[in-house]
Amino acid sequence: MKVELRLFAALREELGVAHESVELPPDVRTVADARRVLGERSPSWQRALAHARVRAAVDRRLATDSTELKEACELAFFPPVTGG
């Protein structure tokens, strides 16, 4: 399955990627599966995406680890947002 991966803020800076098309293996069905597979790229990816506070969105809607992915969806990861 091919997805459009987007990384925001500190994740983008840490991993050096803002956007890329990613071909995921056939066994990837959920956000959690994608986190696992992307984390296998390197220790930096694993550390960045494994953090419990890193949020995900699928097609611009907040997602949980059990949210299912579909072909050509947008999968975004972003750190917690603070403001004042």
The CATH number of the domain holding residue 28 is 3.10.20.30
Q: Which of the residues in the chain have pLDDT under 50?
A: none
Range of the domain at 45: 2-78
On whether residue 83 sits in a domain, the answer given is no
Q: Is the pTM of this model over 0.75?
A: yes
Instruction: Give 46-69 pLDDT, tens digit per residue.
Output: 999 988 789 999 999 999 999 999
Collapsed DSSP state (helix, strand, coil) of residue 33? helix
41/17 Cα distance (integer angstroms): 13
The one-letter amino acid code at 67 reads T
**Count of domains forming the chain:** 1
On whether residue 38 sits in a domain, the answer given is yes
On whether residue 8 sits in a domain, the answer given is yes
